[in-house]
Copies of this chain bind each other. A is one copy, B any other.
């Protein structure tokens, strides 16, 4: 007998405040992994995840070191012969700046209009937390008949450099039948969906330097290379007039898709005008020859995510700066390699760097594109669980973002991944006023719970 829907709704209703309070404890910790100054917060957050895992029903949980930020591992193993689900999530977050665009403090969670606002509410603290609560309910009702392992890491936002070696060294501990991940979005509350792939990612920082010191633009204007001018010229040369990336070889490994494959892409963009209004753009922009959905699913990108040089405060300081820097990154599609593309970008930048300046580049660890196996029986169970809660079969869609884990874990441990994202576009992950929708929070818990129930009742046997 599966748990009755009515009972479940009532239980979630009664326990809503407690669940949110527990999640808020997590959200209050600024566990930012992308800068070096939050080491203590990272540790505190890992310890709290461990505490919550034990509180929610894990028989064992611990904070385990890696070469980078620690991971939190937990498990409950009711029956060795039943299928084992490894739940992956991450407790680290990106910085909250520009903080002045937040309506409330990013690390003081606030509930308003059915949404919980805080950095990490949707990406990913709120989402992995649902798995803890689904487990808690199943255990409470003595209905947990699958084994659950948790692997909650602290470096997802920096490309998980420490996670990969950790997993390689802990293959036995992590051995499981499937990895279940909630760290993405569904198309909308009305259009439940399930993710079938991710783009890869690579990032290159560049610094252009001219004179060894800042110079007065009166005495030196006209005779020395201005690093901002030449950096602009370099960046401007990366896209052509059709908004195609014009770095030689950039598209070389991108697969040609059939018309059917191209048409079979789905995103949350239903009405383009409305969507443009929602994100506040006058018009869309992008690679000619591809529609919006294709541009964010099956096409690679190259974006500048930061630039800085010279005097940037109010008013005038008429100088020629000594250096200027930019951060660029690419989203990659199947068959592209993050290492190869990083090299292609770096080599190209070096080839076009004017001789009057010095160019320094730094490649960050990247991650690979990944395609979910939709014929995998676990995928069918996930579809069924979603349909059960959302009353509609989920649409299949590719996620424009990146998740390094899936590619790596399939390659190294031979375990496939299932992605059930309960975030929404309007959650504004990585941006100001990130939030998580409470309906999706509750539906997420229910869907995860059903996944375990269907898995236990299903035809899949322990491998």
Bitwise, A229-258 to B at CB < 8 A (1) or not (0) is: 101110111110000000000000000000
Q: Which residues of B contact A232 (CB under 8 A)?
A: 231-233, 235-236, 304, 307
**Cβ of A1 under 8 Å from chain B:** no
**Cβ of A58 under 8 Å from chain B:** no
A320 touches B303 (CB 8 A): yes
A307 touches B235 (CB 8 A): no
Q: Which A residues, 341 to 400, have Cβ-Cβ distances below 8 Å to chain B?
A: 354-358, 364, 399-400
Q: Which A residues, 260 to 318, have Cβ-Cβ distances below 8 Å to chain B?
A: 279-287, 292, 295-296, 299, 301, 303-318
A95 touches B311 (CB 8 A): yes
Q: Which A residues, 192 to 219, have Cβ-Cβ distances below 8 Å to chain B?
A: 199, 201, 203, 210-219
In the bound complex, how far is the Cα of B358 from the Cα of A283, in angstroms?
Answer: 11
From residue A267, how far is it (CB to closest CB) to chain B in Å? 9
A212 touches B279 (CB 8 A): yes
B219 touches A317 (CB 8 A): no
Count residues on chain A whose CB falls below 8 Å from chain B CBs. 98
A324 touches B296 (CB 8 A): no
Q: Which residues of B contact A239 (CB under 8 A)?
A: 229, 233
Partner of A304, one of B159, B229, B279: B229
In the bound complex, how far is the Cα of B364 from the Cα of A305, in angstroms?
Answer: 28
Partner of A319, one of B212, B238, B305, B319: B305
A281 touches B327 (CB 8 A): no
From residue A290, how far is it (CB to closest CB) to chain B in Å? 8
Nearest-neighbor residue (CB-CB) of A315 within chain B: B34
From residue A309, how far is it (CB to closest CB) to chain B in Å? 5
A218 touches B199 (CB 8 A): yes
B310 touches A430 (CB 8 A): no
Q: Which residues of B contact A215 (CB under 8 A)?
A: 279, 430-431
**Cβ of A98 under 8 Å from chain B:** yes
B222 touches A286 (CB 8 A): yes
Chain A contact residues, CB within 8 Å of chain B: 34-36, 94-95, 97-98, 101, 157-159, 185, 199, 201, 203, 210-226, 228-229, 231-233, 235-239, 279-287, 292, 295-296, 299, 301, 303-321, 324-327, 329, 331, 354-358, 364, 399-402, 425, 428-433
Smallest CB-CB A-B distances: 10 pairs: A212-B280, A218-B401, A236-B236, A228-B304, A306-B310, A222-B295, A225-B285, A232-B235, A34-B315, A221-B301
